[in-house]
């Protein structure tokens, strides 16, 4: 199967055959789910929040818990503005470098700060046993349908906008980053993406933990100050 470059690689799509991994929401209407990985950090998160607010857009921030611990005021701002928070590990160590026990300890430690049962693995790769362990502990693995590759040094803002323009579809979960690697590009690309999607009638929603993991306790953790 040939996949366009911005579609995530087949290797990452294999878990899509499992019901406990989400790649795209089952929406019939024009809704997109912007997701921002790796924050929060002062160099990026405040600008993202302000820009999303200008467009009345809700999003989901898959945070590295150590960043949320260092910047509790940013973690709090994200929640106060009505966005969703997901778990993106404690220190951004990818699961494929961890045993199941190490990964679950890491995820649980991050959960204490982030209070989210939505989990996105750093670097996207994990074993089926690790997926089973997460699902068995009430976590929902959330990948994405559209990879803008905004983190890549050779990626231009124009390419990021073009990848969304070409590949967006209803229910799309779009991968972006709240990071030093991305922010300068997003300062150009994100307003254009929001403008273009809005002109096409899209609404910007955050991922709903209550919908995706009905069994979980949906109360977000209070950021530590």
Q: Does 178 bind Zn ion (CB under 5 A)?
A: no
Residue in the structure block whose two tokens are 């990071």: 179
71 or 202: whose CB is closer to Zn ion? 71
- Taking CA atoms, 191 is separated from 8, 12, 56, 160, in Å, by 23, 29, 12, 12
86 or 202: whose CB is closer to Zn ion? 86
By CB under 5 A, the residues from 104 to 133 that bind Zn ion are: 122
Q: By CB under 5 A, how many residues form the interface with Zn ion? A: 3
- Stretch of residues binding Zn ion (CB under 5 A), selected from 34-42, 44-52, 141-149, 202-210: 34-42
Q: What is the spatial distance between Cα 184 and Cα 190, in angstroms, rounded to a whole number?
A: 10
Distance in Å, CB of 124 to Zn ion, minimum: 8
- Taking CA atoms, 70 is separated from 11, 66, 76, 113, 174, in Å, by 34, 6, 12, 11, 26
DSSP per residue over 86-137, as a string? Answer: EE--SS---GGGS-HHHHHHHHHHHHHHH---EE--TTS---HHHHHHHHHT
By CB under 5 A, the residues from 48 to 87 that bind Zn ion are: none
- Stretch of residues binding Zn ion (CB under 5 A), selected from 1-9, 20-28, 29-37, 157-165: 29-37
CB-based closest residue to Zn ion: 37
88 or 117: whose CB is closer to Zn ion? 88
Question: Given candidates 15, 32, 35, 37, which one binds Zn ion under the rule CB under 5 A?
Answer: 37
Q: Which residues of 93-112 are buried (b: 16+ CB within 10 A; e: fewer)?
A: bebeebeeeebbebbebbbe
Question: Given candidates 38, 106, 145, 150, which one binds Zn ion under the rule CB under 5 A?
Answer: 38
Distance in Å, CB of 106 to Zn ion, minimum: 13
Coil, helix or strand at residue 148: coil
Footprint of Zn ion on this chain (CB under 5 A)? Answer: 37-38, 122
């Amino acid at each position: 199967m040939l996949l366009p470059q911005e579609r995530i690689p087949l290797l990452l799509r294999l878990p899509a055959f499992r019901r406990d991994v989400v790649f795209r929401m089952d929406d019939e209407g024009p809704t997109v789910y912007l997701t921002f990985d790796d924050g929060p950090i002062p160099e990026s998160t405040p600008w993202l929040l302000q820009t999303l607010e200008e467009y009345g857009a809700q999003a989901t921030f898959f945070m590295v818990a150590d960043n949320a611990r260092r910047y509790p005021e940013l973690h709090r701002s994200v929640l106060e503005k009505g966005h969703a928070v997901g778990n993106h590990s404690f220190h951004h160590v990818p699961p494929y470098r961890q045993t199941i026990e190490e990964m679950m300890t890491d995820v649980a430690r991050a959960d204490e700060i982030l209070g989210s049962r939505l989990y996105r693995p750093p670097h996207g790769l994990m074993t089926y046993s690790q997926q089973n362990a997460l699902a068995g502990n009430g976590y929902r693995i959330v990948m994405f349908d559209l990879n803008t590759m905004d983190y890549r040094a050779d990626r231009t803002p124009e390419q990021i906008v073009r990848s969304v323009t070409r590949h967006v579809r209803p229910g799309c979960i779009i991968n972006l980053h709240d990071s030093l690697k991305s922010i300068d590009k997003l300062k150009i690309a994100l307003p254009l993406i929001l403008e273009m999607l809005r002109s096409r009638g899209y609404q910007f929603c955050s991922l709903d933990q209550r919908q995706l993991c009905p069994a979980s306790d949906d109360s977000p953790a209070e950021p530590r100050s």
